[in-house]
Amino acid sequence: MTDAPAAFDNHPVTEPSRPPRSRRRFLRHPATIAGLVVVVIVAGFAAYWFQPWKLFTSTTVDEAPPAATAGQVPGPQVTATGAAVTEVVAQGDLVSQEHPTSGTVQLLRLPDDSLVVRIENLDTSDGPDLKVWLTDAAVSPGLDDAGVFDDGRWVDLGSLKGNRGSANYPVPSDADVDGLDSVSIWCDRFNVSFGAAELNPRT
């Protein structure tokens, strides 16, 4: 008496499915490989250029004023001991342009006669290649005039130290600041101002 064949013997054994030969050929085709390489390169370049993660990052700074300021009294001040203190030469409020921006800006003259732009309580977006510029451009809120700050004269005061908080930006000693009466948070990569302030002389 012979044993009955196992039930599974009655079912054909199937091999794992494989991609159609035409698809395998497509994936190995030199043009396909080249296209994938181009896509990777373009995606990497776009990530570097636009830095989309900056939309979700923030840097806060909290620098003290460069020296004891003269408060609300304009002009050079002298203490009881005869020592000069910092003069507030001009000041203004930041307005929003490419991105919502707020804070105050002061142009300070230190006892050694050097100039410093101080930004206080800044609140703006993070972004690639942000600079602080002292410029001769007129300031108006909104997008219409967000790109005018490189049309005339400007002095680059360096990279923005943080998109939130307070920081000091020394003005180069050889800079001609006559007629430069505005400050821009300037995105040098896209030639646009995130926000700007008109500096009004203290009288």
Spatial separation of the C-alpha atoms in residues 51 and 156, rounded to whole Å = 22
Task: Give the DSSP H/E element, type plus range, for residue 49.
Answer: helix 30-50
Of the pLDDT bands very low, low, confident and very high (cuts 50, 70, 90), residue 67 is: confident
Beta-bridged to residue 130, according to DSSP, are 187
Domain that holds residue 145: 57-74+84-201
Q: Are residues 40 and 67 in the same domain?
A: no
Q: Are residues 62 and 118 in the same domain?
A: yes
Choice between 152 and 32, residue whose per-residue pLDDT is larger: 152
The domain that contains 104 carries what CATH number? 2.60.40
Alpha helices by DSSP H, listed for 51-191, are none
Query: Of the given ranges (36-40, 71-75, 148-152, 159-163), which has the lowest mean pLDDT?
Result: 71-75
Q: Are residues 123 and 181 in the same domain?
A: yes
Residue with tokens 């101002």: 193
Q: Are residues 67 and 34 in the same domain?
A: no
Residue 63 lies in a domain: yes
Spatial separation of the C-alpha atoms in residues 23 and 10, rounded to whole Å = 33
Q: What is the mean pLDDT of residues 112-128?
A: 96
Q: Are residues 25 and 65 in the same domain?
A: no
Q: Are residues 135 and 92 in the same domain?
A: yes
Contacts of 108 (CB under 8 A, 6+ apart): 65, 66, 67, 69, 86, 87, 88, 89, 115, 116, 117, 118
Residue 79 lies in a domain: no
Of the pLDDT bands very low, low, confident and very high (cuts 50, 70, 90), residue 57 is: confident
**How many structural domains does the chain have?**
2
Residue 88 lies in a domain: yes
Which tokens is 180 given?
């430069």
Q: Are residues 132 and 186 in the same domain?
A: yes
Q: Are residues 106 and 144 in the same domain?
A: yes
Q: Are residues 94 and 46 in the same domain?
A: no
Q: Are residues 69 and 162 in the same domain?
A: yes
Residue 149 lies in a domain: yes
Q: Residue 189 pLDDT > 50, yes or no?
A: yes
Residue 14 lies in a domain: no
Residue 159 lies in a domain: yes
Residue 8 lies in a domain: no
User: DSSP state, 32?
Assistant: H
Average pLDDT, the chain: 80
Beta-bridged to residue 146, according to DSSP, are none
Task: Give the DSSP H/E element, type plus range, for residue 91.
Answer: strand 87-96
Cα 111 off chain centre by:
31
Nearest C-alpha neighbor of 123 from the set 199, 44, 58, 53: 58
Q: Are residues 62 and 127 in the same domain?
A: yes
Residue with tokens 């646009």: 192
Query: Would you state the pLDDT for residue 188?
Result: 93
pTM, to two decimals: 0.70
Q: Are residues 118 and 190 in the same domain?
A: yes
Q: Residue 26 pLDDT > 60, yes or no?
A: no
Query: Would you state the pLDDT for residue 101?
Result: 98
Nearest C-alpha neighbor of 61 from the set 103, 96, 94, 91: 103
Q: What is the mean pLDDT of residues 58-67?
A: 92
Choice between 43 and 103, residue whose per-residue pLDDT is larger: 103
